[in-house]
Structure 1
Amino acid sequence: MPTQAPEIEPQADITRPTKRRRMIRAEWGVLLIVLVTFLALESVFRFRGEILSKDIAHLNSFEQISRELAEAAQPNELRTLFLGNSLTRYGIDQELFTQIVADDYDLTVKTVKMNPDNTALADWFYAYQTYFKKAGRPPEVMIVGFEGNHLRDAPSNHLDRLAYYYGAGNDPEDLGRFDLKTLEQKISFQLCRVSAAMANRDRLQRRVLDQVIPQYREGMDQLNGRLQIATSASPKVQVSYERLLKFIALAEQDDVQVILVAMPVPEYYEFDSALLEVVSSTSAQLIDCRLIPGLTNEMFFDGLHMDEQASRIYTTALAEKIGLDLKSMPARQFAQFP
């Protein structure tokens, strides 16, 4: 009688767990690479950001600028803050301004400039509030350079940078009222408060696009500037100036004279009637420098910003327009600040 062959038990499939383990290891490897890359970027932006961007270096210097104005000025010098964006950076010649008011009006001034790129009142509001008002180091004169719609109520173009560099997170009421409208914005804002890499992620994007698209950044800067001017000229836009009113009120609490200067740009722009009402109802002054004799469109080297010759012409005109007003405001002696 033939013997029955023993049954062979099927072997367990050992290949599936092995593949699963490999996939898990690969996923963890990717996560580790992402984490290491993020930490490296965080370290660079947090501790060496100035090597990547002049604007980052400027943002990091806000505290120093505030202290310089308060502590380095002599008792007889009028502490004057130029606040604006890259239009102010290129347009104001501080040395020339100081020289003109000294020679023509016998007035000594101490000036500093705070001019982060691509910003407007939405950003300047928090810069003043954090580094001058709350710090107890207000200037005596604040000259705010603007064009088009810079002073209108609108969210900041850079909520991420507001979170990290401007101390805006300490003012939730105004953030909720003017800037943070959606849950996504609120979550992103909180992340940017603690992460320099998150706050500057748009710069990384631009650097990549700079390598792919020739003259990408210059083209986008010009396009953004022209879009702002076109928007400001649109008659359909509903405009308001609630934040400007509060900005001036904060300055008035510290006896700061606010001077709003309409700066020259190639595309002419009109004043909103609502802006004129704000000026007439507050202590702020409005100086019209939209048209300056001697300035030509050829002096705006990229179609928006003034070259050195234009800067000297504009600075001279501004000093002559406000020199007498500055002369009537005696300098106050400040105590030493912490």
Structure 2
Amino acid sequence: MFETSLSKDVAHIRSLPAEAARLRQAPAGTLKVLILGNSLARCGLDRALLARGLEAASRRPVAVSVMHPDGSRVEEWRHGYRRYFDQTGSQPDLVLLCTGRLHLEDGLRDLDSVAAFYTSWADLPAFVRSEGLGFGDTCQAAAARASALFAHRRRVQPLVFYNFMPGYEQTVNLVQKTRNASAPTTRASPSCSNLASLATTIGASGGTLLILPVPLPESYELPALVKQTAVNAGARVLHASPALPPSRFPDGYHLDEEGARIWTQALLDSPEWKAALAGMAAK
């Protein structure tokens, strides 16, 4: 398929129905787990170790699915969860939302991506309302939802013009620098309506949402508004931050395999993790 050849990320998005089916078709009594996030989730959790730890703690077989498109954030997670998991009867028992500091506050970054890949036609009007889109953005969202080529135009355009237009890269860089220099610096007050909606949707089907701040080279705290929104919506924020040397972040951002193993084990050993699983069992 042409679009899946554009990037591994697109191939992952197109595999989400299969990820949902894994949970939907799991045998009765299985603990159904969804790892949700972006590349921090993909690189940060040792899935095999996690599954073994959950099986030992719950004394149940475990099915693990993933939804972690690179560069995604709370808008993609909210709408994608609803489309691929909630609306298809594939609701997990446990959602592990792996995040960095800046991924959970509202702030739509990629209108085309959310409309094309994470929103169904039935949900498009609700998406437009929730994001407060004007007429032009609404038309763009509808075009992205209707046409994969339109939605992929930012990926396709460089493939074409890098090969056939001399000086294309330099021109694009100049335009981007000019655009960034003229962009307004004011920022709306932070909000977390997408996180609240995601947590509410998960909770409505009896699921448990655990928010896991992924270790980064520099320590950080989630914004107070994010933590308060999580608490208000019945989610838990679990901090397990083992001391990790810079060598565990070979690209300066993501954990390597050993770093993922260390962090996953720290989660499994943390009192907060054990308390969260005990709370699930008591539901």
TM-score per shorter chain, which class?
0.7 to 0.9
The 3-state SS of whatever aligns with 2:2 is helix
8 Å CA contact retained: 1:76, 1:331: no
The answer on 1:130 being equivalent to 2:79 is no
Following superposition of structure 1 onto structure 2, how do residues 86-101 of structure 1 map, counting pairs within 5 Å?
A: 86-101=39-54
The equivalent position to 2:231 in structure 1, one of 256, 268, 280, is 280
The equivalent position to 2:141 in structure 1, one of 180, 185, 189, is 189
One-letter code of the match for 1:316? Answer: Q
Gaps of 5+ in 2: 174-186
One-letter code of the match for 2:117? Answer: Y
Q: Which moved more, 1:276-285 or 1:166-175?
A: 166-175
Q: TM-score, normalised by structure 1?
A: 0.70
1:94 offset after TM fit, Å? 1.1
The equivalent position to 1:317 in structure 2, one of 252, 266, 278, is 266
Following superposition of structure 1 onto structure 2, how do residues 27-176 of structure 1 map, counting pairs within 5 Å?
A: 47-71=1-25, 73-103=26-56, 106-155=59-108, 157-176=109-128
1:115 offset after TM fit, Å? 0.4
| Equivalent position of 1:23 in the other structure | none
Q: 1:50 to 1:244 in 2, by over 3 A?
A: same
Query: What percent of counterpart residues are identical?
Result: 27
Q: 1:115 to 1:331 in 2, by over 3 A?
A: farther
8 Å CA contact retained: 1:144, 1:260: yes
8 Å CA contact retained: 1:152, 1:244: yes
The equivalent position to 1:179 in structure 2, one of 131, 146, 171, is 131
1:89 offset after TM fit, Å? 0.7
Q: TM-score, normalised by structure 2?
A: 0.82
Q: 1:308 to 1:273 in 2, by over 3 A?
A: same
1:158 offset after TM fit, Å? 2.3
Q: 1:101 to 1:252 in 2, by over 3 A?
A: closer
Cα distance in 2 for partners of 1:210, 1:315 equals 41
- The ranges of structure 1 where at least 4 consecutive aligned residues each deviate by more than 6 angstroms after the TM superposition are 208-212
| Equivalent position of 1:244 in the other structure | 195
Cα distance in 2 for partners of 1:302, 1:209 equals 29
Q: Which moved more, 1:173-182 or 1:74-83?
A: 173-182
Cα distance in 2 for partners of 1:110, 1:331 equals 20
The 3-state SS of whatever aligns with 2:220 is coil
Q: Deviations over 1:16-75 (max 9, x none)?
A: xxxxxxxxxxxxxxxxxxxxxxxxxxxxxxx3322331111101011111011110x232
1:273 offset after TM fit, Å? 2.1
Number of residue-to-residue matches in the alignment: 262
Q: Which moved more, 1:131-140 or 1:199-208?
A: 199-208
| Equivalent position of 1:4 in the other structure | none
